[in-house]
């Protein structure tokens, strides 16, 4: 039986290696140009070469995002860049613009291409159209329900379908605005936009009726259009049974700790599904694991129902953070039982910490003694990315991570 693919984000080489080590089947990332995430470090051509060697030696795949909607000046140098990607033998290119796709096909007729969610594919006819143009996979629009996805797969069974299942969401899902539909019932995505985004809005405080205040945005943003984060870990079985071929996690600008925690949770869930071990108890346990990274409250997006006011946040754009990422394991000496970590947040003697690796479960231990790189005893490791050591008698997996409950 062909298993569903787990597709993870990578903003840099360290995150890519973490994603693969913690269970991703494939990783998507951007090169120096033509991607949609300028906030992440992204990859040089040299980085891509190292990433491909790391992934392919482990039987994993690399997809490169080229999904901007370009203006004329954005196309400068694109032919040379595509040729480099072809020569590198990347596994697929993710595109959203027909012009970029036509350039790719003029250079190489065989390289695998995936249609990005930015293209907003919402029906089987469009899926079939892109299939006829040589598209291997469609990253479906986020506006689709599980039933609609099932129907598409039934009608076009030989096209791979991918969808986002976890991560941050914007108010305009898939880059498509829903404000008109919410306020007037007129669907902007079907040509009937009321241009509600251009109306003038004022804020009324509950105890001050008649006093209208303008809604303003500061350098931190505005809060009234914040979506909750997407999380489908509790409904993983439904996703697979809907016919989805690839489950995609959002987060190229997130930390190594985020990538490890979330990828690991979905990897465990997928494997348990195929072993007939996925149940409600498992899902809730893995949800608790996911909540050990910073997050906002969760929503199921469009999968279960059309989003409403309960799927948005109105008070703040802040994340919930209950645990801190303390460090990543560099080495474990089985003879001396000394574990060497590269620090990410401060840790004290007496702290209770959890250590987890790619496999299920974690170790809880209290730090009785803490050492620096030269094995001198210290009370606290508080310098960013310093080396610290602890003594622990445990079977620690390579690249394990240490966390503790947040001091906040």
Lowest mean pLDDT among 161-170, 180-189, 200-209, 305-314: 305-314
318 domain residue, yes or no? no
Answer for the pair 229, 171: CB distance below 8 angstroms, yes or no.
Answer: no
Scan for tokens 């401060």, then name that residue: 346
At 146 the pLDDT is 95
Q: Can you state the percent helix, strand and coil of the chain, rounding each to 5?
A: 30, 25, 45
Last-in-domain residue among 290, 313, 336: 313
Question: Rounded mean pLDDT of 82-110?
Answer: 96
Same structural domain, 158 and 294: yes
Same structural domain, 269 and 159: yes
Last-in-domain residue among 257, 278, 313: 313
* pLDDT of residue 262 exceeding 60: yes
Same structural domain, 163 and 243: yes
Same structural domain, 203 and 239: no
Question: Rounded mean pLDDT of 307-326?
Answer: 70
* Strand blocks (E) in 258-351: 298-299, 312-313, 323-333, 338-343, 347-348
Alpha helices, H only, 157-207: 179-184
Same structural domain, 205 and 340: no
When pLDDT is cut at 50, 70 and 90, the band that residue 39 belongs to is very low
The tens digit of pLDDT for each residue in 145-176 reads 999 999 999 999 999 999 999 987 766 656 55
Angle at 357 between CA 52 and CA 64, to 5 degrees: 25
DSSP 37-75: -TTS----HHHHHHHHHHHHTTT-EEEEEE-----GGGG
> 116 lies in which domain range?
5-171+225-313
Q: Which residue has the higher pLDDT, 355 or 168?
A: 355
Question: Rounded mean pLDDT of 258-285?
Answer: 97
220 domain residue, yes or no? no
pTM summary value: 0.86
| Overall number of domains in the chain | 3
Lowest mean pLDDT among 79-88, 189-198, 201-210, 378-387: 189-198
What is the Cα–Cα distance from 123 to 118, expressed in whole angstroms?
Answer: 14
What is the Cα–Cα distance from 308 to 330, expressed in whole angstroms?
Answer: 45
Last-in-domain residue among 279, 313, 347: 313
Instruction: Give percent of the chain above pLDDT 70.
Output: 85
Same structural domain, 76 and 158: yes
Q: Can you give the length of the chain in residues?
A: 408
CATH of the domain at 29: 3.20.20.70
Question: Rounded mean pLDDT of 309-315?
Answer: 56
At 67 the pLDDT is 85
Same structural domain, 163 and 236: yes
Lowest mean pLDDT among 41-45, 105-109, 245-249, 271-275: 41-45
* pLDDT of residue 366 exceeding 90: yes
Answer for the pair 255, 325: CB distance below 8 angstroms, yes or no.
Answer: yes
When pLDDT is cut at 50, 70 and 90, the band that residue 191 belongs to is very low
Same structural domain, 210 and 235: no
**Which pairing describes strands 352-356 and 363-366: parallel, antiparallel, or unpaired?**
antiparallel
The tens digit of pLDDT for each residue in 369-406 reads 999 999 999 999 987 668 999 999 999 999 999 999 99
CATH of the domain at 352: 2.40.30.10
Nearby residues of 158 by Cβ (< 8 Å), 6 or more positions away: 131
């Amino acid at each position: 039986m062909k298993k569903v693919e787990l597709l993870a984000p990578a903003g840099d080489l360290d995150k890519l290696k973490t994603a693969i080590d913690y269970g991703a089947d494939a990783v998507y990332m951007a090169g120096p140009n033509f991607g949609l995430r300028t906030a992440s470090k992204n990859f040089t051509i040299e980085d891509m070469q190292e990433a491909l060697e790391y992934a392919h030696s482990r039987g994993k795949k690399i997809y490169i995002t080229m999904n901007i909607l370009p203006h004329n000046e954005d196309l400068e140098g694109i032919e040379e860049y595509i040729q480099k990607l072809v020569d590198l033998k990347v596994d697929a290119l993710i595109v959203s613009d027909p012009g970029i796709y036509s350039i790719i096909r003029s250079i190489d007729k065989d390289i695998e291409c995936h249609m990005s969610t930015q293209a907003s594919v919402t029906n089987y006819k469009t899926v079939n159209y892109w299939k006829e143009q040589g598209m291997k996979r469609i990253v479906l629009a986020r506006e689709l329900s599980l039933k609609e996805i099932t129907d598409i797969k039934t009608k076009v069974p030989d096209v791979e379908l991918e969808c986002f299942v976890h991560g941050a969401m914007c108010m305009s899902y898939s880059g498509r605005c829903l404000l008109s539909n919410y306020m007037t019932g007129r669907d902007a995505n079907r040509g009937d936009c009321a241009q509600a985004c251009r109306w003038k809005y004022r804020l009324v405080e509950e105890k001050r009726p008649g006093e209208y205040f303008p809604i303003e945005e500061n350098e931190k943003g505005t809060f009234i259009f914040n979506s909750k984060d997407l999380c489908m870990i509790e409904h993983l079985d439904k996703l697979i049974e809907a016919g989805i071929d690839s489950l995609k996690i959002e987060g190229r600008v997130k930390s190594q700790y985020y990538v490890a925690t979330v990828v690991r949770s979905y990897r465990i869930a997928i494997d348990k599904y195929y072993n007939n071990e996925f149940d409600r108890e498992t899902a809730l346990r893995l949800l608790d694991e996911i909540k050990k990274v910073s997050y906002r409250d969760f929503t199921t997006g469009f999968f279960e129902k059309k989003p409403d006011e309960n799927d948005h946040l109105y008070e703040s754009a802040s994340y919930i953070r209950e645990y801190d990422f303390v460090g990543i394991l560099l080495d474990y000496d089985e003879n001396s039982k000394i574990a060497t970590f590269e620090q990410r947040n401060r840790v004290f003697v007496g702290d209770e910490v959890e250590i987890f690796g790619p496999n299920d479960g974690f170790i809880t231990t209290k730090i009785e003694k803490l050492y620096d790189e030269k094995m001198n005893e210290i009370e606290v490791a508080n310098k960013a990315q310093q080396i610290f050591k602890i003594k622990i008698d445990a079977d620690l997996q390579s690249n394990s991570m240490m966390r503790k409950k947040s001091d906040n």
